[in-house]
């Protein structure tokens, strides 16, 4: 097995025992990028010189006999809406095509403390708005399992890079499923932590009450280690949760005996791919055989979640993206006066999906429509959250499909926004409620991966990791 195919925990052991060097590992990843990047197109900005310098620094510390953090010297990719000081952060938009942040996001500061190697910034749907990475202003990223299919989105570059061996692990962001759905489509692990568990400071905002940074990894063990590195309170983020962070690696135990798992009937939606449903139901039987108790639950407001989300998220996007006016930073067009400049700047630099969501959000917030649309969507959001609260009175976690289908063909849905939005039917409720969830591979339909979603109580990522790890190790659904 080539180094680029290994997990972070396997590579950590090889580095610690000096069987390989970080420079050797980094060069192996760079060679893999040379071999497949033209086909996959996961990256927006490559940071090769930085990566090799970081690898050399780690090797020097190992040579000095230092015991380094788990992620030290292991190559990673960062979604291009996470600010990186001195390195372009474009959000895959013409609006920020040349934007170089003057500061690091909090997660990047935390990562610097554990010394990983950064290979570059990866592609995404523009401003994280989309479910296929076809909305990037720069190029379409392709699914490594089938280059004619999408990798999912908006963190499609992150998931594709890990699946293709162009990064060992990656960071993504999840507003309505943007970590979990691409993880499902690309056959990797993706976790959306509890809202507030990971600082959003330095994450370019899409919908501030929904956005959350999280890991995309090869397996559950790697996920636990990345969570250890990025979680924690941050006074610069007013929504950050001030609570102790457990050592998630202590949850890497194969034991779910007595765990109560809820199976919400509303998540097996009309139009779900038959092979996806069969794979999920087979996974549920495996979990039951491993000692879990399966309980059918009802979450009646699930059917309204997509509609509510596509009012809440665009409304927040309308507000957050108002700052891109051609004045302080970002793209600027010439105009006959300031209003003309605003119009031309935003028309030239925003893509069709971003414009669509800004207009939806602005309309929902406008006088005469606020109560009918935005306020009503907030009330539905509360009902969705209460569905989860009632379910968690009976069960420890919920299990659902991550997505109703496997990866669809490039161009297959881009002209039908409603069909694209409905792809998020299983993931959106999690963001509305602010609870954690993880997607793990559970099978294939043809040659395309299927994802199983596990949803937990607030701050119960440790329980999700234990359940996902048991499913992985006992069922053999992942390598490593």
Helix (H) or strand (E) holding 357: helix 352-365
- Within 10 Å of residue 25's Cβ, how many Cβ atoms? 24
Check 6, 21, 79, 377 and give the catalytic one.
79
Check 22, 132, 154, 251 and give the catalytic one.
154
Q: What span, in angstroms and rounded, lies between the C-alpha atoms of 223 and 227?
A: 6
Q: What span, in angstroms and rounded, lies between the C-alpha atoms of 78 and 215?
A: 10
Output the CA torsion sign for 352, 353, 356, 362.
Answer: negative
Q: Does the active-site annotation cover 79?
A: yes
Q: What span, in angstroms and rounded, lies between the C-alpha atoms of 229 and 8?
A: 13
Q: Which residue carries 């010394």 as its tokens?
A: 115
Please report, for residues 365, 379, 420, the alpha-carbon distance to residue 215 in angstroms, rounded to integers and kept in the order given: 33, 30, 24
Buried-state track 82-113, b at ≥16 Cβ within 10 A, e below 16: bbbeebbbbbbbbbbbebebeebbbbbebbee
Q: Both tokens of residue 338? A: 């300031």
Q: Which residue carries 């699930």 as its tokens?
A: 302
Q: What span, in angstroms and rounded, lies between the C-alpha atoms of 166 and 158?
A: 9
Q: Does the active-site annotation cover 154?
A: yes
Q: How far out from the chain centre does Cα 387 lie?
A: 24
Q: Both tokens of residue 359? A: 């207009």
Helix (H) or strand (E) holding 449: strand 448-456
Check 22, 136, 178, 377 and give the catalytic one.
178
Strand partners, 43: 122
Q: Does the active-site annotation cover 18?
A: no
Q: What span, in angstroms and rounded, lies between the C-alpha atoms of 31 and 40?
A: 14
- Within 10 Å of residue 414's Cβ, how many Cβ atoms? 18
Q: What span, in angstroms and rounded, lies between the C-alpha atoms of 132 and 413?
A: 9
Strand partners, 123: none
Q: How many CA atoms lie within 13 A of 187 on its CB side?
A: 17
Catalytic residue set: 79, 154, 178
């Amino acid at each position: 097995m080539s180094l680029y195919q290994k997990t972070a925990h396997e590579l950590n052991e090889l580095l610690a025992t000096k069987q390989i060097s970080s420079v050797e590992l980094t060069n192996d990843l760079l060679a893999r990028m040379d071999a497949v990047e033209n086909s996959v197109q996961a990256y927006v900005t490559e940071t090769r010189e930085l990566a090799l310098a970081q690898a050399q620094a780690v090797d020097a510390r190992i040579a000095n006999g230092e015991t380094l953090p788990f992620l030290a010297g292991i190559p990673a990719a960062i979604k291009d809406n996470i600010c990186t000081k001195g390195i372009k952060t474009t959000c895959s938009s013409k609006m920020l095509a040349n934007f170089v942040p003057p500061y690091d996001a909090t997660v990047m500061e935390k990562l610097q403390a554990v010394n990983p190697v950064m290979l570059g910034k990866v592609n995404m749907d523009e401003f994280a708005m989309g479910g296929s990475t076809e909305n990037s202003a720069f190029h379409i990223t392709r699914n490594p399992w089938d280059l004619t299919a999408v990798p999912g989105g908006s963190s499609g570059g992150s998931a594709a890079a890990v699946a293709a061996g162009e990064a060992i692990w990656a960071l993504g962001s999840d507003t309505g499923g943007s970590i979990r759905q691409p993880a499902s489509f690309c056959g990797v692990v993706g976790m959306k932590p509890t809202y507030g568990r990971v600082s959003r400071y330095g994450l370019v905002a899409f919908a501030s009450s929904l956005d959350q940074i999280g890991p995309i990894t090869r397996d559950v063990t790697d996920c636990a280690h990345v969570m250890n590195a990025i979680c924690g309170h941050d006074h610069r983020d007013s929504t950050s949760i001030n609570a102790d962070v457990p050592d998630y690696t202590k949850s890497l135990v194969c034991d779910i005996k007595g765990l109560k798992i809820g199976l919400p009937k509303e998540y097996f939606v009309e139009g779900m791919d038959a092979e996806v449903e069969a794979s999920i139901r087979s996974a549920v039987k495996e979990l039951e055989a491993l000692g879990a108790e399966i309980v059918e639950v009802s979450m009646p407001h699930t059917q309204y979640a997509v509609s509510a989300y596509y009012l809440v998220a665009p409304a927040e996007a309308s507000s957050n993206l108002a700052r891109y006016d051609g004045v302080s930073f970002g793209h600027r067009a010439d105009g006959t006066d300031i209003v003309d400049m605003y119009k031309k700047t935003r028309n030239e630099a925003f893509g069709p999906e971003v414009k669509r969501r800004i207009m939806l959000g602005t309309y929902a917030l406008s006088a005469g429509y606020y109560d009918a649309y935005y306020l009503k969507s907030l009330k539905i959001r509360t009902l969705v959250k209460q569905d989860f609260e009632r379910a968690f009175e009976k069960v420890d976690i919920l299990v659902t499909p991550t997505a109703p289908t496997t990866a669809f063909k490039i161009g297959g849905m881009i002209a039908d926004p409603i069909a694209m939005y409905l792809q998020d039917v299983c993931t959106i409720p999690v963001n509305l409620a602010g609870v954690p969830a993880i997607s793990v591979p559970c099978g294939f339909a043809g040659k395309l991966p299927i994802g199983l979603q596990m949803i937990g109580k607030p701050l119960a990522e440790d329980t999700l990791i234990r359940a996902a790890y048991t499913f992985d190790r006992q069922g053999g659904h992942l390598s490593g």
